[in-house]
Amino acid sequence: MHTPRSLPDVSGRLALSGRWTPLAAFGAGLISATGFAPLALWPLTLAALAFLLHLIAQQSSARRVALIGWLFGVGHFVVGNNWIATAFTYQAEMPAWLGWIAVFLLALYLAVYPMLAGLGAWYVARRSVREAGWPLVFAFAGSWTIAEWLRSWVFTGYVWNPLGMVTLGGFTRPGLAAIAPWFGTYALSAVVVVLAGCWWRATQRVAPGRRAALLAVPLAAMLLPLLVPHDRSQGTLAFTLVQPHIPQEELTDPTKYESQFGKTAALTLARKPGTRRLVLWPESGVPDYLRPGYPQYFYAESTFAADPDLARERIGRVMGPNSVLMTGAVDLIMGNGHVVAATNSVTALDSRGDIVGSYAKAHLVPYGEYLPMRALLEPLGLSRLVAGSLDFWPGPGPRTIDLGAWGKAGVQICYEIIFSGQVVDRAHRPDYIFNPSNDGWFGAFGPPQHLAQARMRAIEEGLPVLRATTTGISAIVDANGIVRQFLPLGRSGRIDGFVPPAHAPTPFARLGNMLPLGWALVLLAGSAIALRRRRR
């Protein structure tokens, strides 16, 4: 059955001359990133992606598709990563204006992945591109999923703001992101592309009833899940989470270490002496070196004394009996009697000050925690953003720390929480994920985006996430991705409560990123099937 020719084809009105197409692609990329937190303008993201599909469908060569996909990506990542520029204002080694150059250069690289997605879709569906149909939508959705997965590990990976993040609802509802346990974040991005494809298809020559349905389906998919109630049962493990609000410009000032410790300690004191509880301090929570065996001058720069045993005992007295503390700290790596590197770590201490567990961050931030190609870049005046001359070395990856009565803790330090499928030791599933962070570097956009990605990990894995930060946003996120309690940016305080219960392992928790890759193959197969049906 053929659609009557009298029905309007809106897409024809969107045709652009060749010279304006690249600029339009760049502009669409800029708009597409407004769907992420804190703006959360997801209809603009869908509209921008629909327009990108329209632009790809207009092209007759792979070179033009590559250019359009790449320029879209440049705009998308410049806006999505704008918070990185703020980090350069908190160091003195390089000019602050270099931050925006860094954002732009990073976008030039990251834009390769939308380019690959566009090329993949065009090659799969090129025989039907001029007819502009579902084969292109499905192929683009599958290709985008694979491209995001590649972005998560190529060159150590940088997968900030996967497209699926726009499906996450407000603090009290997960929204469409509630389906993440069955899809994974990268396949959730494919769902976003398909929803955008509905709007794009609505601009083409279709019957009025079908056009109305195509326009309504994305709205219903994004809005109706917000009405679904979720279980809010309480756990039994008590906790105290501390946000001391130590401004970034003061965090590494040795003259303020003691006052900073006093502020954190005052917020930690037990309200009911003797209560068994888990105490959570943020990344950069302790300026002292807590382990013995380092050169004496390292301890002399600490807050309390040139004795790590005394430093730990003091922390134990602050917590009180029946408490276990998990805090961000720095451990040193020795070689031939000399300090050769450091690890960004979480140290677990009991009330006697004994170390009962530790974890070293595995996913380090390039140019933040280590300087790649140091021998080449350091002579050019480039340095790390984090103060200090020692590079950080990575730990072995996800580990579960068994704290006995205080539960089994998975740990992901700061930026590590963004890596879907890489946050949990699947052979030793934890009861919760502790995510200490220092987001004081990242202005107004970075912290809410970071929290949103922590929420997505909670949904995927079916595990609560306990997030302690120096300046905000600290939060208790349950296994449904709902923020039970939080402390906003720029405020000191504490959160007391009970760790929310974990769910049974989700399909994603069992399969990891094999699940979204499987969905990508399904979508690519769907594109091929749709092409075959068209040839008939």
310's enclosing H/E stretch is: helix 308-319
Please tell me the predicted confidence (pLDDT) of residue 502: 97
Please tell me the predicted confidence (pLDDT) of residue 1: 40
Please tell me the predicted confidence (pLDDT) of residue 379: 46
3-state secondary structure of 33: helix
Please tell me the predicted confidence (pLDDT) of residue 4: 42
Contact by Cβ (8 Å): 159, 151:
yes
pTM for this entry: 0.91
pLDDT tens digits, the chain, 536 residues: what are they?
Answer: 444 443 455 555 555 556 789 999 999 999 999 999 999 999 999 999 999 999 999 888 999 999 999 999 999 999 999 998 887 777 656 677 788 988 999 999 999 999 999 999 998 887 655 555 899 999 999 999 999 999 999 988 999 999 999 999 999 999 999 999 999 999 999 999 999 999 999 998 888 899 999 999 999 999 999 998 888 899 999 999 999 999 888 887 888 888 899 999 999 998 888 889 999 999 988 888 888 888 877 777 665 556 888 889 999 999 999 999 999 999 988 888 788 888 999 999 999 999 999 999 998 887 666 555 454 445 445 555 555 567 888 999 999 999 999 999 999 999 999 999 999 999 999 999 999 999 888 888 999 999 999 999 999 999 999 999 999 899 999 999 999 999 999 999 999 999 999 999 999 999 999 999 999 999 999 998 888 776 65
* C-alpha gyration radius of the chain: 25
Backbone φ and ψ for 418, nearest 5 degrees, come out as: -80, -10
Domain 238-498 bears CATH identifier 1.20.210.10: no
Please tell me the predicted confidence (pLDDT) of residue 83: 92
Q: Which residues contact 237 (CB under 8 A, 6 or more apart)?
A: 277, 278, 406, 407, 431, 498, 499
How many CA atoms lie within 13 Å of 272's alpha carbon, on the beta-carbon side? Answer: 8
Please tell me the predicted confidence (pLDDT) of residue 324: 97
Burial of 293 (0-12, 13-18, 19+ CB in 10 A): exposed
- Tokens in use for 490? 């720029």
3-state secondary structure of 179: helix
Contact by Cβ (8 Å): 516, 149:
yes
